[in-house]
Amino acid sequence: MTAFGAYPVRHGPVVHGDGTITFRVWAPYREQLDLVRDGHEPVTMEPSGRGWHVVRVPGSVGDRYAFSFDGGDPLPDPASQHQPDGVHAASAVLDRAAFVWSDGELRWRPPPLSSAAIYELHIGTFTPEGTFDAAVAHLAGLRDLGISHVEVMPVAAFNGPHGWGYDGVCWYAVHEPYGGPEAFVRFVDACHRNDLAVILDVVYNHFGPSGSYHGRFGPYLTDRYSTPWGSAINFDHEGADAVRAYVVDNAMMWLTDFHVDGLRLDAVHALHDGSATPILRELSSAVDRLSEQVGRSLVLIAESDQQDPRTVLPRPAGGMGMTAQWLDDLHHAIHVTVTGERDGYYSDYEGLTDVVAAYARGFVFDGRWSDHRQRTVGTPLPPTVSGRRLVACTQNHDQIGNRARGRRLTVLADDDRVRFAIGLLGVAPTVPMLFMGEEYGATTPFLYFSSHPEPSLAEAVRTGRREEFSAFTGFGGAEVPDPQDPTTLTASTLDWSDADTPAARDRRRLWTDVLRLRRTTPALATGDRRMVRRLLTGARQMAVLRDDPAGAAPVVIVANAGDDATAVTFALAGTWSVLWTTNDSAYGGSGTEVRIEHGDADVRCLMPLWCVAVLERA
């Protein structure tokens, strides 16, 4: 048996070829533990050291089982691989080795993240059916759009049929209303057949509020730290080795048994860990080893609200070794530019000035004072760190769904400004990410929804949502939709009939072209931030030179974020022509020409309102 220190790496039941099953569970709080199965007498498990209990008995795939302490009520397995009857019910035996795959025949290798375009989706609202199988019908369209990676919001089992997924309690089990584990296998396999890599969103910073029995088994949690969700996961106190092994094995399960190509780690700033080797470093080391073993690139993308370079710096340089991290700075700067909103954390951003800063520096807050946080935030990202280690967007589940009414950018800004935002993101050195429906200009909200069966918990969620928006003066508490109301879920589900209109086809053409432009223009295909040079930055205009380290032709990105046409003048030699513009009539723009005038040592661009243009040497 492969081991992590003194602990087994593989958690949960192991199905053997001789008709027997080994059950093991870490329960250091219990001296005696019984395995309880339907149709069988309870069997006392054998202690196997350091809090582990194990037993091997005859059994079959699908058998229901649970664990009982001192004759008490049976509890589901903390490492259950299948919860077909809900998170409070008995677990079911699953044989992950029996999954049927076709991607081996394809010799599947994911595209590198450095050339990625990511598409984030929520299975429950991506289609009216809300299942993995229904989502498969849309994969070819994403491939044709230019998407390379599909990022799936959490699928770990949680209480109730509907939710965002961040309240998962059975981390090893796939949420049954989505189709369960076999359907997830079919989805991942279909993604690979469509040349799409899969990134799975995982939550290792807390358990959900209903259905987590971990604390009855052992010290999975600690009160030494507090999080927005209560007690923190125990990464550095008594029993932490086994908890860390539980997390690492969970990551290995998704990457091996379910063939996903990477993990997006939720809110790593809430992983409280004072150990000499933080869990993120341990996890990245394990994933790197696995990547070498399986011969394909596996990635870890961290969500962090700390502009800390150590997140993406390699381990030998003192970093955590993450492949990439989400970059909220660029989103916020673009959002402020096109909407003018200055509530909450948006009050810290200065529009186009900070867009250029994000292009060149990565972190806008790299030792800069934050009025919102009332402290200095961040430290500089070394210039050698590629922009392709940063994932940016104009919309994602947080930035839409954490608004009181779940409004998308398509509702907050007119079409000219939305095209402008897409242009700024598309030509950035960072990895672009779209949120589901964004490719056709969806206006359906993405609200926060839940389905907690417990009345007290349901009311706590309602109250919490109202209080969450106190810092946003425009989002009155009375306007917050009830997360528990089924109509909140229905309103958040994509209406795919909206994708087949002239305006939707124009928007899709814009995304298709800008993603192709990134791939085919060397100066835009590089993430080298050292190749970014500011030519002009003003409150409403900017000009940025992007060069290519291999010596290919540079391009200039010119933007006018004004309600009137204006001239943007900057010092630059050579003769330039328009390569691409967001104002093209093919995208629903006015088609007004971007005119270029050349001086002895400068360039003057006559720019239409709310327009981004890419210039190339004539």
pLDDT at 343 over 60: yes
Residue 479 clears pLDDT 80, i.e. is over it? no
Is the pLDDT score of 1 beyond 60? Answer: no
Please give the backbone phi and psi of residue 423, each rounded to the nearest 5 degrees, phi first.
-60, -45
Of 150, 262, 260, 156, residue with least CA distance to 203: 156
Say if residue 9's pLDDT is above 70.
no
Architecture of domain 3-97: Sandwich (2.60)
Superfamily covering domain 532-617: Golgi alpha-mannosidase II (2.60.40.1180)
Distances (CA, A) of 16 to 24, 59, 100, 258, 462: 14, 9, 17, 19, 47
pLDDT of 477 higher than 50: no
Query: Which residue in 283, 411, 398 sits closest to 338, CA to CA?
Result: 411
pLDDT at 5: 40
Q: How far apart are CA 334 and CA 309, in angstroms?
A: 22
Q: Residue type for 589, please?
A: G
Provide the 3-class DSSP secondary structure of residue 134.
helix
Q: Which residues pair with 434 in a beta bridge?
A: 119
Q: Which of 100-114, 130-144, 402-416, 548-562 has the lowest mean pLDDT?
A: 100-114
**Statement: residue 4 has pLDDT above 60:** no
- 3-class DSSP assignment, residue 115: helix
| Ranges in the chain annotated CATH 2.60.40.10 | 3-97
Dump pLDDT digits (tens) for 68-88: 998 899 999 999 999 999 999
pLDDT of residue 246: 97
pLDDT at position 472: 55
Q: In this model, does residue 228 exceed pLDDT 90? A: no
- For tokens 């806008």, the residue is 364
The structure tokens 């358990």 sit at 207
Is the pLDDT assigned to residue 474 strictly greater than 90? no
Decide if domain 113-215+241-516 falls under CATH 3.40.50.12780: no
Of 63, 261, 266, 354, the catalytic one is 266
Nearest C-alpha neighbor of 181 from the set 104, 253, 103, 264: 253
Q: How confident is the model at residue 471 (pLDDT cuts 50, 70, 90)?
A: low
- Give the pair of three-digit tokens for residue 341: 């909103």
Residues 6+ apart with CB under 8 A from 497: none
Question: 528 is written with which tokens?
Answer: 């080298």
Distance CA 33, CA 24 (A): 10
pLDDT at residue 227, as a whole number: 86
N- to C-terminal Cα distance for the chain?
Answer: 64
Calculate mean pLDDT across residues 321-327. 98
**Percent share of the chain, pLDDT over 70:** 97
CB count in 10 Å sphere of residue 88: 14
**pLDDT tens-digit map of 181-219:** 999 999 999 999 999 999 999 999 999 999 999 999 999
Q: What confidence tens digit (pLDDT) does each residue in 383-421 have?
A: 999 999 999 999 999 999 989 899 999 999 999 999 999
Q: Can you tell me the distance from the alpha carbon of 234 to that of 243, in angstroms, rounded to the nearest whole number?
A: 7
Identify the active-site residue in 303, 348, 416, 528. 303
Average pLDDT (520-542) is 96
Specify whether 266 is catalytic. yes
Distinct helix (H) and strand (E) counts, the chain: 16, 32
- Write out pLDDT tens, residues 269-316: 999 999 999 999 999 999 999 999 999 999 999 999 999 999 999 999
Would residue 41 show up in a list of annotated catalytic residues for this protein? no
pLDDT value of position 107? 87
> Per-residue pLDDT for 236 more than 90?
yes
Cα 144 from Cα 511, distance rounded (Å): 11
Chain centroid, CA 400 distance in Å: 14
The secondary element (H helix, E strand) that includes residue 284 is: helix 279-294
| Average pLDDT of the segment spanning 560-582 | 97
Q: What is the predicted pLDDT for the residue at 373?
A: 95
Tokens for 173, please give them: 């089990």
Cα separation, 352 vs 348, whole angstroms: 13
Q: Kindly state the average pLDDT of the residues 328-334.
A: 98
- What span, in angstroms and rounded, lies between the C-alpha atoms of 254 and 264? 12
Instruction: Judge whether 581 and 605 are in contact, CB under 8 Å.
Output: no
Where does CATH 3.20.20.80 sit in the chain?
113-215+241-516
Q: pTM here?
A: 0.96
Q: Does an H or E element contain 614, and which?
A: strand 611-617
- Residue 465 is predicted with a pLDDT of 79
Tokens describing residue 462: 């309602």
**Residue the block writes with tokens 């389905």:** 451
Task: Report the distance separating Cα 209 and Cα 529, nearest Å.
Answer: 42
